[in-house]
Structure 1
Amino acid sequence: MHPVILRNVSRTYRLGSVDVPALSDIHLEIRANCFTVICGPSGSGKTTLLNVVGCIDRPDHGEVLVAGQNVLALSDDALSDFRARNLGFIFQNFNLLQVLTAYENVEYPLLLSGMPAPQRHERVRSLLDAVGLSDKARNRPGQLSGGQRQRVAIARALAPAPTLVLADEPTANLDSHTGAGIIALMRQMQREHHVSFVFSSHDPQVQAAADDTVTICDGRITSIERLAESSGVLA
């Protein structure tokens, strides 16, 4: 089953008295257990597309299926609960809670989900070990490097065992060497945890690691290239 299916999706924003189309008639199927990268110039609509996939933004028209659920049919409260259970998020600015330790940041979504303490402890310790930060569990974000903070963010995104992890420019605030290490780590986590990753990114290193590359321009998908498949161009 495809973790994400978009059909006839359109989204228009109102800026003053002007309607600005951000997405126009998007058709997209995201494959399971793959690295999918959404790329395109600034203002092309890739962040809006990522937000629609992540159930953060609702389109004006179309159908959005995530993990088999028609998310547009859910109330705001039900959608928030669905996001918490099925989606993980990684941000270019890390978005860690500065007053919490690395351990507590990873634990936070599990506290919200009501997971019992023994299972929480085992899950957090396992994830911090997987991202190479067992020795930094008590450090707060201000005591960590940019790469280490992004590793904490990856562990936090994976904590609730999501179907899908979405990352908005995850290497934008990292140097190329650190970024390469983060890409390799995300690839390893994707394979080990059998989860789909979807990125928006300008970074050639991220694009080079992709299984599938979705190119968007002026709110329309212009091409989809799939690893080990012939490239297709959508009208």
Structure 2
Amino acid sequence: MHPIVLSDVSKIYRLDAVEVPALVDINLVILRDRFTVISGPSGSGKTTLLNLVGCIDRPSSGRIMVTGRGVHTFSDDELSDFRGRELGFIFQNFNLLPVLTAFENVEYPLTLEGVAPRERRERALALLASVGLEAHVHKRPGQLSGGQRQRVAIARALARRPGIVLADEPTANLDSKTGADIIALMRELQQREHVSFIFSSHDPKVIEAADDVVYIHDGRITSIERRQMLPRTPA
């Protein structure tokens, strides 16, 4: 089963009496267990598309199937519950809670889910170690560099073991070297955790690392580049 299928999806925003089409007749299959990038210039609709896939927004028309569920029919409560169970998010501004340590930020979604304290601790510490932050678990976001904060955000996104992780311009606020390191880390974790990573980005480094690239312009898909799956790292 494909993780995500969009059929004849359009999104129109209304500004007073004016209708502004953000996406027009999108038909797209996003394959399971891949590193997929949605790419296009500013204003092309890539963030809107990512928000629809991530169940943050609703289409004006069309159907969106995520892991076999017709999310376009969900109520607000159903969408919220589905996001929490099935999806992880990485934000370009990190969106970490400033009063919590790195450990507490990663543990927090597990606390909301009611996971037992010992299991929460083990999962959070293992994820922080996997992103190279075992020496920084007790530091708050303000004590971490941009790259370190993004690593915490990645660990938090994986905390609930989602099948799909989404990121909007994950390297936008990072310098070139740090951005490259973050891309390599996300690729490694995507293969190790067996999740589908879906990014919006116009960063050439992110595009180069992708299995599949969806090019979008003026709200329409202009082309889709499917690449051979890169070899997996041994488990």
- Name the % identity: 68
Q: RMSD value over aligned CA atoms? A: 0.9
Residue in 2 that maps onto 1:58 = 58
Residue in 2 that maps onto 1:29 = 29
**How do 1:43-192 residues align onto structure 2 when only pairs under 5 Å count?**
43-192=43-192
Q: Separation in 2 of the partners of 1:160 and 1:228?
A: 29
SS at match of 1:134: coil
Residue in 1 that maps onto 2:227 = 227
Q: Separation in 2 of the partners of 1:120 and 1:175?
A: 32
Summarize deviations over 1:18-64 as a string: whole Å, max 9, x none.
Answer: 10000111001111111100011111100000000000000011111
Q: Which amino acid aligns with 2:70?
A: N
Tell me how far 1:16 sits from its aligned partner: 2.5
Tell me how far 1:72 sits from its aligned partner: 1.8
Tell me how far 1:228 sits from its aligned partner: 2.8
Residue in 2 that maps onto 1:232 = none
SS at match of 1:135: coil
SS at match of 1:56: coil
Summarize deviations over 1:212-233 as a string: whole Å, max 9, x none.
Answer: 000001111010000039xxxx
Q: Separation in 1 of the partners of 2:212 and 2:6?
A: 16
Q: Which amino acid aligns with 2:53?
A: V
Q: Separation in 2 of the partners of 1:228 and 1:167?
A: 22
Q: Give 4+ residue runs of structure 1 displaced > 3 Å after superposition.
A: none
Tell me how far 1:84 sits from its aligned partner: 0.4
Q: Which amino acid aligns with 1:46?
A: K
SS at match of 1:221: strand
Which ranges in structure 1 are unaligned for 5 or more consecutive residues? Answer: 230-235
Residue in 1 that maps onto 2:20 = 20
SS at match of 2:135: helix
SS at match of 2:88: strand
**How many equivalent pairs are there?**
229
Which ranges in structure 2 are unaligned for 5 or more consecutive residues? Answer: 230-235
Q: Separation in 2 of the partners of 1:163 and 1:48?
A: 21
Q: Separation in 2 of the partners of 1:78 and 1:150?
A: 29
Q: TM-score, normalised by structure 1?
A: 0.96
SS at match of 1:202: coil
Q: Which moved more, 1:71-80 or 1:142-151?
A: 71-80
Q: Separation in 2 of the partners of 1:65 and 1:111?
A: 28
Summarize deviations over 1:140-187 as a string: whole Å, max 9, x none.
Answer: 000000000000000000000001000000000000000000000000
Tell me how far 1:199 sits from its aligned partner: 0.4
Q: Which moved more, 1:69-78 or 1:159-168?
A: 69-78
Q: Does 1:207 align with 2:203?
A: no
Q: Which amino acid aligns with 2:129?
A: D
SS at match of 2:37: strand
Tell me how far 1:122 sits from its aligned partner: 1.0
Summarize deviations over 1:114-150 as a string: whole Å, max 9, x none.
Answer: 1111111111011011001011010000000000000
